[in-house]
Amino acid sequence: MPLASIIDFILLAAIWGSSFLFMRFAITDFGVVPATAMRVAIGAAFLVPLMLWKGGAREFRRHWRAVCLIGVINSGLPFMLFAFALLTISTGLSAILNATVPLFGALIAWFWLKDRPTASRVLGLAIGFVGVAMLAWDKATLQPGASGIAPIWAVLACLLATVSYGVAASATKRFLTGVPPLVNAAGSQLGATLALVLPALWLAPHAMPGRQAWLAVLVVGVMCTGVAYILYFRLIENTGPAKALTVTFAVPVFAVIYGALFLDEHVTPWMVACGLVIVCGTALSSGLLKLPSLRPQPR
Contact call for residues 94 and 158 (beta carbons, < 8 A): yes
Rounded to 10 deg, the angle between the 91-98 and 3-30 helix axes is 140
Cα 49 to Cα 43, 61, 182, 187, 258, distances in angstroms: 11, 15, 11, 11, 31
Residue 165: count of CB within 10 angstroms of its CB: 24
Query: Alpha-carbon distance 279 to 165, whole Å?
Result: 21
In this structure, what are the phi and psi dihedrals at residue 132, rounded to the nearest 5 degrees?
-65, -40
Q: Residue 169 pLDDT more than 80?
A: yes
> Other CB atoms closer than 10 Å to residue 17's CB: what's the count?
24
| Cβ-Cβ contacts under 8 Å for 286 (sequence gap 6 or more) | 1, 9, 124, 239, 243, 246, 247
Q: How many whole angstroms separate alpha carbon 28 and alpha carbon 155?
A: 19
The 10s digit of each residue's pLDDT in 181-228 is 889 889 999 999 999 999 999 999 988 999 999 999 999 999 998 888
- Of 93-97, 186-190, 239-243, the poorest mean pLDDT is in 239-243
DSSP 56: -
Round to whole Å and give the CA distance between 61 and 200. Answer: 26
Q: State percent of the chain over pLDDT 70.
A: 88
When pLDDT is cut at 50, 70 and 90, the band that residue 279 belongs to is confident
- Helix, strand and coil percent figures for the chain, each rounded to 5: 80, 0, 20
pLDDT at residue number 129: 80
Burial readout 72-104 (b: 16 or more C-beta within 10 A, e: otherwise): bbbbbbbbbbbbbbbbbbbbbbbbbbbbbbbbb
CB 137 within 8 A of CB 32: no
Is residue 147's pLDDT more than 70?
Answer: no
First to last CA, the chain: 29
Give the whole-angstrom CA distance, residue 157 versus residue 222.
Answer: 24
pLDDT number for residue 146: 56
Banded pLDDT at 298 (limits 50, 70, 90)? low
Task: Give the angle subtended at the CA of 42 by the CAs of 195 and 189, to the nearest 5°.
Answer: 45
pTM more than 0.85: no
